[in-house]
Amino acid sequence: MRSTTVLPGTPSLPPPPGDVPLHRLEVAGPGAVPFAAGSFEAVGPLSRWDRPHRHTFYEIVHVSAGSGAHVVDLARWPLRPPHLAVILPGQVHHWEGGRGPEGTLVLFTDDFLVDHPGDRETLRKLGEQCWFGLDTDHDRSVRHLMAELVAEHRQRAPGHESVLRALLHVLVVRASRLPDRGGTGGDSRAQGRPAAVAEAFALLIARPEAAGRSVRECADRLGVTPHYLTQAVRAATGRPPGRLLIEARAYQAQRLLAHTQLSVRQVAARTGFADPAYFSRFFRRETGSSPGDFRKHHSRPHQSLEAPSAPA
């Protein structure tokens, strides 16, 4: 993945043919804290972008007003404020239709979580659920925390970095307590190193470049044996890593078909299949539809991508 932060005014790099644009976080200067917070207006027009794109950073959004929808990966969430949304690095999203969202955003890179590394796993689970409706009490709590983060970021008083990290940690923990999150949590029996290995595995297979890797290859990258990796992942999730790799591969293919103009042959290659016919059989087995039918029902009207360079 490209550098996660850039200085203001740094031109965006054009995406490779058929790829989704990748936004990086602007910081005030060299060595500046990789964090930003503010209203949609303060963050800038890209915060409401209506074309599919992804980030090198995390984004937590408190939507207080607006209409239309927020599309994240393959899910379309109608705006009925107040909401809280959590978008992970690499997730494809855009805002669609209606009167654009109003509210507050918090943006930060993985490096910013240095004081609370456990928040990475919490954020991953929040990102799987992604979208949370807020009752009056939860909305008041989120508004208060967001306002404190914005003020602390704007004032930059001595010690503001540690205060920002502490406030963000509170926001992440409070978000994890929101109701109706679904069953995305792991097994609490996983502790210590096995839990850390399972978390690292989850982050690894979420990367586009991990498509097609085997359990052994993932274990080698994580510095453990395949047997240890299998035990750690089963303890944390109740499921074998091989099955999770297959699902991650199918999900990456769904993302590419829905959000890019890559041909089926190109999507097959991006997800580690040398044979497009084998890829099509794999995709039908995992999703119940062919790649062509899936694209027909899930592709978006706003394609911010270059035309494919090879026929399907």
Structure tokens at 141: 């709590």
User: 215-222 vs 241-259: helix axis angle to the nearest 10?
Assistant: 100
Q: How far apart are CA 171 and CA 180, in angstroms?
A: 17
Q: HSE, CB side, 13 Å, CA atoms: give it for residue 303.
A: 20
Q: How far apart are CA 199 and CA 33, in angstroms?
A: 25
How is domain 5-176 classified at the CATH fold level? Jelly Rolls (2.60.120)
Q: In this predicted structure, what is the pLDDT of residue 5?
A: 85
Q: Which of 109, 138, 116, 99 is nearest to 27 (CA)?
A: 109
Q: In this predicted structure, what is the pLDDT of residue 203?
A: 83
Q: How far apart are CA 291 and CA 287, in angstroms?
A: 9
Spans in the chain with pLDDT lower than 50: 1, 181-190, 301-312
Q: In this predicted structure, what is the pLDDT of residue 98?
A: 85
Contact status, residue 87 vs residue 127, Cβ threshold 8 Å: yes
Inter-CA distances, 101 with 15, 129, 287, Å: 26, 20, 32
* Long-range residue pairs from 204-208, CB within 8 A, at least 24 positions apart, any chain: 205/244, 205/245, 205/248, 206/88, 206/90, 206/124, 206/248, 207/1, 207/90, 208/90, 208/252, 208/270
How is domain 192-298 classified at the CATH fold level? Arc Repressor Mutant, subunit A (1.10.10)
For the chain, the domains span: 5-176, 192-298
Q: In this predicted structure, what is the pLDDT of residue 304?
A: 38
Same fold for the pair 5-176 and 192-298: no
Q: pTM value?
A: 0.70
